[in-house]
Structure 1
């Protein structure tokens, strides 16, 4: 294989799409799609969700104020809602032009999206500011999963969730390929 240079681009740094849920100061729900989401280890088996938010969006201001949020996995069926939340500012009032159902998280003060099949309830453990971005390292307080989807063990088949993957464009997952150790045996 011979490769060619295409410059400093980030399209292959693909990310799952999540909708972050927070409450505004008046108690109304606020949701925003965020794709800068990953995980890291704190100590031992404790993982933190890492979420970076750029700019001055209302959702980011709510996280800075409360330190509590939900991380709702976006599915391909939720793309109209993802686009709507992403193109509508929470600073202009309640985002309610598209219908959606939401509830209250069980462990943190933040809203959850009823349509999301995988929801993490999180509390900010620490934060790092870089330019106009804030990166939040969040402890997972609880995870709720659609009861119709089998999530036994660590080998979760992501295709069952039909997640949206973002690279500058929206994509979906094609098929389950296997687990670590399925392709090379020592």
Structure 2
């Protein structure tokens, strides 16, 4: 038997994306967003309301970064989703974040979060709130790399949003090998 929840934005996993921009004054801003994902090889799409300070910033600067929230900075990342940059202009600093300027786009990289996607604005539709960014670069802090130079998800400790229970869930345990485990079911 199944239980119906109706038309809801309930999927697993929902990444906790931290979108960072610079304001007109050069001060970094950040917001927490869970509704997004890869939409092409070098493209990412998110649903971001028009009333956010971050939206105003990426429309003016034509750039933004997306960092993945992690276990260590869970409270800071949640805080960035609780308050508005329109009301708390220094929320980036209040969250305890520091920034480095991206070498690729006019946006800040959050130093405390290990993985950052650096994006140029492709489009933003105010009616649907759909933000589309061109992925220009992905930068990763060396502290989360293994001996071979690969990203170790257990060191990143990204979190996802559980919309069914309004909780954050830790990622990190390998469940199988992509493009390999299914080969056991191939015919011939």
Q: Report if TM-score (shorter chain) is over 0.5.
A: yes
Residues paired across the two proteins, number: 178
Structure 2 residue 112 is the aligned partner of structure 1 residue 115: yes
CA contact 1:104–1:110 (8 Å) conserved in 2:
yes
Q: Compute the displacement of 1:151 (Å).
A: 9.9
Q: Compute the displacement of 1:100 (Å).
A: 2.4
Q: Compute the displacement of 1:27 (Å).
A: 0.9
Other-structure match for 1:129: 126
SS at match of 1:184: helix
CA contact 1:157–1:176 (8 Å) conserved in 2:
no
For residue 48 of structure 1, the aligned residue among 28, 43, 47 is 43
**Superposed, which structure 2 residues align to 1:57-96 within 5 Å?**
57-92=52-87, 93-95=89-91, 96=93
Relative distance call for 1:172 and 1:68 in structure 2 (3 A) is: same
Relative distance call for 1:157 and 1:147 in structure 2 (3 A) is: closer
SS at match of 1:77: coil
Alignment partners' CA distance in 1, 2:20 and 2:153 = 22
Relative distance call for 1:139 and 1:150 in structure 2 (3 A) is: farther
CA contact 1:104–1:112 (8 Å) conserved in 2:
yes
TM-score, normalised with respect to structure 1: 0.84
Alignment partners' CA distance in 2, 1:101 and 1:177 = 34
RMSD over aligned Cα atoms:
2.3
Alignment partners' CA distance in 1, 2:50 and 2:120 = 21
Give unmatched runs, 5+ long, in structure 2.
none
